[in-house]
Amino acid sequence: MHYDMLFIHPSAHPDSPQFIVMPMGVVSLMNELEGYDVEAINVGLELCLDRNFDIEEALTQCEYDCVGIDLHWHEHSFTALQVAEICKKVHPGCKVILGGLTASYFAQEIMHSFEHVDYVVRGEGEQALPLLLRGDEAELIPNLVYRDNGTVKETPVSPVECLDSLDFSTISGIRHWEDYLKSSIHGHMRRRFWYDFWLCTGRGCSYDCSYCGGAHHSQNRLCARHGMTFRSVDAVMKDLVHLQDLGVHVVCPSHDISLAGPQYWGDLFRCMKEAGISMGMYLEVWQLPDTAFLEALADICNPRFTTIVMTPLSGNESIRELNGKHFANEDFYDRVKYTEDVGMNHAPYFATGLPFETRKTFKETLTMTEVLITDFNPSAIFCTPLRLDPGSPMFENPDHYKIVKHFHTFRDYYERCMKRAQNLPHDFIGYHTENLDGRTIMEMQNEWEALLRENPVMAGTSMDTLHFV
């Protein structure tokens, strides 16, 4: 088989499936290459389906002119470059293209340090990729980092002007796409009876949560995108109809649609009703939704398959505020109760290692967790240590957030992931704070997990029963 372009989503670990959910932009990029022979291989998914899957062997069984490797989340820093090297080894004449937020942030360093990468597409790639495949001159292609006689050059970055013409739901080009619909970030679940799918409903963000590499200022710098843009109701509806036809039970919007305003979500829900869309939704809300939105969502979506993820981050209101989530405890509990009253599932999310957090403020997170699991009925409850995202506010302004970064360059991320791949001790979070060293952060995480283990309600909750990010 010959491919004009082969997309490869690397597993974060070379020999086992890790983080197999693909960036949503891979789908739109594939669909922008109409008329070309294109396929996407998800290495983690292939490893789930066949423990002996070997990407090098798979590549020897086909021809390809170009390879697009996503390096969006820094967790893939080592394997994305490893796959790039293998692609060149198998077919030395191919062009290797990297994209995604991490690749965009470190584009210069990657191009200087890894000769088997030919191009990095910075920011949003839907304009650049078709031009690159068409053979246009590099200097005329937007968002491109390339070499010219050994010098690394870059063209100006611009965002996609209108997201409505992009197709985020045609996934037949993903190898084993039906199995992909039965996958979560942790892996493929053969016995899972429902399909879910992450759908791009917008791009950009207006907030600057301390830990987020996709925050407002980061997207501004990397993608030239200012604020949040939602796709039109018509464009989202087209995808929803297609996904329902594919048999998807749960759609996971990329963006918190409550933030698009009542006119938008009112129109969307009305159109969904008219079109007979009855899928559930896994919706991560970015602040606190109002009760009118929750009521309307419960009315339109299958409640059995619908989960709202709210993110208090901390039980302490001022720690929450300082890290980007702007709501009070009283309002949070009120909204949790309302969500239960209208019959929807909910899952609160906390974090350990937040800037400004102390042992004392973390006690309030433990208290809030206890209240939630005794007085309420969450379907699941999360708490994870933060990891240092390149481009996040705390990465860019460590002094302001009173943190000490352990990672500064792409090489730091690459080596951290390489150590993990070699089963060597590695720095899990990549920073410490003025108040908390890495060991203390992990101790707090263990404390939180012990609290859950002691609770019979949550101990009975299977991690497989919900979609996890």
> In the complex, which residues of this chain contact ligand SF4 (CB under 6 A)?
205, 207-209, 212, 214-215, 286, 324
Helix ranges (DSSP H) in 159-228: 177-180, 216-223
- The minimum distance between CB 257 and ligand SF4, in angstroms, equals 13
Which lies closer to ligand SF4 via its Cβ, residue 30 or residue 205? 205
Q: Among residues 17 and 214, whose Cβ is nearest to ligand SF4?
A: 214
* Nearest-approach distance from CB 193 to ligand SF4, in angstroms: 30
CA angle 384, 18, 39 (to 5 degrees): 135
- Minimum CB distance to ligand SF4, residue 31 (Å): 24
Please report how many Cα atoms fall inside a 13 Å half-sphere around the Cα of residue 140, on the Cβ side: 8
User: For residues 286 and 410, which CB has a smaller minimum distance to ligand SF4 in the complex?
Assistant: 286
Give 65-122 as a DSSP string: EEEEEE--SGGGHHHHHHHHHHHHHH-TTSEEEEESHHHHHTHHHHHHH-TT--EEE-
Buried b (16+ CB within 10 A) or exposed e, 94-130: bbbbbbbbbbbbbbeebbeebebbbbbbbbbbbbbbb
**Rg value, the chain, Cα:** 22
Smaller CB separation from ligand SF4, 10 or 393: 393
Taking the complex as a whole, how short is the minimal distance between the CB of residue 98 and ligand SF4, in angstroms? Answer: 22
How many angstroms separate the Cα of 354 from the Cα of each of 84, 224, 309, 442? 34, 28, 19, 12
Taking the complex as a whole, the smallest distance from the CB of residue 212 to ligand SF4 amounts, in Å, to 3
Structure tokens at 418: 């390489």
Judge contact between 11 and 43, C-beta under 8 A. yes
- The residue (of 130 and 213) whose beta carbon lies closer to ligand SF4 is 213
As measured in angstroms, the least distance from the Cβ of 214 to ligand SF4 is: 5
Residue nearer to ligand SF4 on the CB measure, 117 or 259 = 259
Burial code (b: 16+ CB inside 10 Å, e: under 16) for 199-227 equals: bbbbbbbebbbbbbbbbbebbebbbbbee
Nearer to ligand SF4, 74 or 420 (CB): 74
Closest approach of Cβ 324 to ligand SF4, in Å? 5
